[in-house]
Amino acid sequence: MGFRKIASTLAVASALALPAGLAEAAGTVEVLHWWTSGGEAKAVGELKKAFEAQGGKWVDSPIAGGGGDAAMTALRARVVAGDPPTAVQLKGPGIQEWAEQGVLADVQDVAEQEKWDDKLPKVLAGIMKYDGNYVAAPVNIHRVDWIWANPAVLAKVGAQMPTTWDEFNATADKLKAAGITPLAHGGQPWQDATLFEVIALGVGGPEFYKKALVELDQDALSGDTMVKVFDQLRKLRGYVDPNFSGRDWNLATAMVMRGEAAFQIMGDWAKGEFLAAGKVPGKDFLCAAAPGKGFILNSDSLVFFKVSDKDEQEGQKVLASLTMSPDFQKSFNLAKGSIPANTTVPLDDFDECAKKSKEDLQQAIAADSLVPSMAHEMAVSRTVRGEFMDLVTNFFNSDMSSQDAAKNLAAAVKRGQQL
Ligand code: GAL
């Protein structure tokens, strides 16, 4: 029997295995995403598995590239060509930008029926809606301001996880003197911007972060605190290895796993990589909130585009409901490194890092120190984010002074706002 014949026989057999009508009822979805690393692929595999278990057809459209810049370029081309995917990994103000173009479909009937408003933190529910209707379903809550470490490497210089930036610098200096790379980093604009915003929160505090990175206040962008932020970023530049340029973030995580570097400053999708490699938190790797007060929020969601095919429209409803279901939120987030967006899901089977994330999130909400990630598209328009990334990357790869960087940043952001 040829391959085609086997495949079609299998297809008929699996269709027969389903109760009549279920395959059609669950519909079809094409999902565009950038979850391609070890941990990410495992997590999205959970969604595919769950959707297929309901009898649906999943068409996978992965676009590699951490931070999603390549995926967003591909999405624009698809929408312009009049051929949008059924659902897209998308977030923050980007959701509103697409909704304003009139190209999003709402899943409000599903959300109302399942009482999403009662299950999501208010801040997230707001981001998922346009004109009062849900156009997106959140899959998780990622925290950006984490430090990951290899305890065996820290032990070599008798160091613990740092709790202040001064401690971080002192430990990094010791590691460097011992011939060990202190910081695993990938020199890509979004990764540079991730370091920058973690320092902005740590050095400046939540009020400063909001003023500079959310409200885009010119004084905050160009002032003394911003100069200090760039000073610390310059310090970090001295702690990376010579081959950092262009490296993917998951390869930087692998350096920490293998003991080739001590630390990585990265969101908790890095934990997904450690876990996918069989590493145990608290033993093989450590997690700690980066020095400072607050919590930088990054939440992934699936956004639904207007499609004319009935089967795809049905698929959107099934996918929306599945995305918020407790079973899926648990299995996806156990693999992804994040915590569930659906607050009714208990964290009993999650590790200490996840439990800390939830506790700190609640505290940050109460203390008004929860801030949206600029680097991960939760805070500002893509144009302004682009200006931040260009300037920060330029600073990281040149000998620009911190004073010039702050001044240039304020000017660049102003330019971005006018475009
Ligand atoms: C983030 C995204 C995460 C993770 C990361 C690296 O922007 O929210 O889910 O995938 O990029 O690709």
In the chain, the amino acid numbered 338 is S
Same topology between domain 9-142+298-352 and domain 143-295+355-418: yes
Q: Give residue-wise pLDDT tens across range 142-156.
A: 999 999 999 999 999
**Residues written for the chain:** 419
Q: What is the CATH number of domain 9-142+298-352?
A: 3.40.190.10
Q: Give residue-wise pLDDT tens across range 386-417.
A: 999 999 999 999 999 999 999 999 999 999 99
CA of 249 to the centre of ligand 1 (A): 10
C-alpha to C-alpha distance for 172 and 178, rounded to whole angstroms = 10
Ligand 1: nearest atom to the Cα of 35:
10
pTM of the model: 0.93
> What per-residue confidence (pLDDT) applies to 15?
42
Beta-carbon contacts of 118 under 8 Å, excluding residues fewer than 6 positions away, are none
Ligand 1 pocket test: pick from 146, 298, 332 the residue with the most ligand atoms within 8 Å of its Cβ.
298
> What per-residue confidence (pLDDT) applies to 12?
40
CA of 174 to the centre of ligand 1 (A): 31
> What per-residue confidence (pLDDT) applies to 5?
39
C-alpha to C-alpha distance for 75 and 91, rounded to whole angstroms = 13
The candidate with the shortest Cα–Cα distance to 302, out of 22, 50, 53, 25, is 50
C-alpha to C-alpha distance for 159 and 197, rounded to whole angstroms = 25
Q: Give residue-wise pLDDT tens across range 190-205.
A: 999 999 999 999 999 9
> What per-residue confidence (pLDDT) applies to 94?
93
Atom 2, ligand 1: residue with shortest CA distance: 67
Query: 143-295+355-418 has which fold?
Result: D-Maltodextrin-Binding Protein; domain 2 (3.40.190)
**Proportion of the chain above pLDDT 90, given as a percent:** 93
Question: Domain ranges in the chain?
Answer: 9-142+298-352, 143-295+355-418
Whether the predicted pLDDT of 298 surpasses 50: yes
| Ligand 1: lining residues by beta carbon, under 6 Å | 34-35, 40, 66-68, 142, 249, 269, 298, 300, 376
Distance of CA 334 to the CA centre of its chain: 15
Largest CA distance in the chain: 73
Atom 8, ligand 1: residue with shortest CA distance: 300
In the chain, the amino acid numbered 324 is M
CA dihedral 108, 111, 117, 118 (to 10 degrees): 160
> What per-residue confidence (pLDDT) applies to 17?
44
